[in-house]
Copies of this chain bind each other. A is one copy, B any other.
Amino acid sequence: MRRLMKHSTDPRIAMIEAAIRNAGGRVTASRVRLLDLLQSAREPLCQTDIENLIESEPLPAMDRVTIYRVLDWLTEAGLAHKAADGRGVFRFTAAKPEGQHEQHAHLRCTGCGGTFCLDMAPPPRPVLPRGFRFGGMALDIRGECPRCVGAHA
């Protein structure tokens, strides 16, 4: 005779639950957990990052496929963004509350593979040839992080 918790008492989680419900989906443990994870991440995460984080948590495991499906659902629902990184791997970030048009730039270190968020003004929206429709953009910067620059000094 388990009581199911319909709304979390933690306001962060309550917000997440509301966002999911608002997007027209069922509020499941997996969705809440992954969106929470993305929101507290300091950099875009890929499937394996997430799998590892999930495994390290003292909570029930999640199937690999479920992670993919939840991430894709969050993306479809507009709660997350999905973009291929320089290595051709998809990375996910939590969508910002609307406003920051998710156009902020990332630097990908060619040494260690790390991704770093850059606080730079997004480039202006490009003028496309006639007939094209704009759908968003991402500035992908390659380079080396301080640690890797130092490594081969």
Contact = CB atoms under 8 A, between A and B. Distances in A.
Contacts of A123: 123, 139
Tallying the copies of this chain within the complex gives 2
A136 to B, nearest CB: 5
A80 to B, nearest CB: 15
A107 B127 CA distance: 11
A132 B112 CA distance: 13
A138 to B, nearest CB: 5
Nearest to A89: B88
Interface residues of A, number: 37
Contacts of A83: 86, 140
B145 A126 contact: no
A135 B143 contact: yes
A23 interface: no
Contacts of A143: 128, 132-136
Nearest to A147: B131
A99 interface: no
Contact of A84 (B87, B130, B141, B146): B87
18 contacts: A84-B87, A88-B90, A105-B126, A118-B126, A123-B123, A128-B143, A130-B146, A132-B144, A133-B144, A135-B141, A135-B142, A135-B143, A136-B142, A137-B140, A137-B141, A138-B140, A138-B142, A139-B140
Interface of A: 83-90, 105, 107, 110, 116, 118, 120, 123, 126-146, 149
